[in-house]
Amino acid sequence: MKEALTNNGYKFVCSARVKSITSILGKIENKGVQFNEIYDIFAIRVVIDVPIEVEKVSCFSVYSIINSIYQEQKHDRLRDWISKPKSNGYEALHFT
């Protein structure tokens, strides 16, 4: 993934996290989901450094690059806060 993003000219920072047991249990209890319905036990964050004029299109481009690398995985959940930012101004794409 890093190689593909670099080869496409992106400057970026990647970080990863593993959801804590406490967070997993909280999700199970508070949202009533089964363990096998928790899709974000492991997460990777990619923050791109691009001019604001191309920020939105670049986010979708990066999404496309990552999705093509992991195309054998099922990515059926896309939360698009780029097209419609949250009320607090948060903008991101989340997909699992």
Residue 32's CATH number? 3.30.460.10
Q: pLDDT, tens digit, for every residue of 37-91? A: 898 899 999 999 999 999 999 999 999 999 888 876 665 788 999 999 999 999 9
Q: What is the model's pLDDT at position 55?
A: 94
Nearest to 4 by CA among 78, 43, 61: 61
**Half-sphere exposure in the Cβ direction for 34 (13 Å, CA):** 2
Range of the domain at 47: 2-95
Give the per-residue pLDDT at 4: 96
pTM for this one?
0.80
Q: For residue range 11-20, list pLDDT tens digits in order.
A: 999 999 999 9
Closest by Cα among 43, 41, 42, 23 to 31: 23
Tokens 């791109």, located at residue = 48
Count of structural domains, the chain: 1
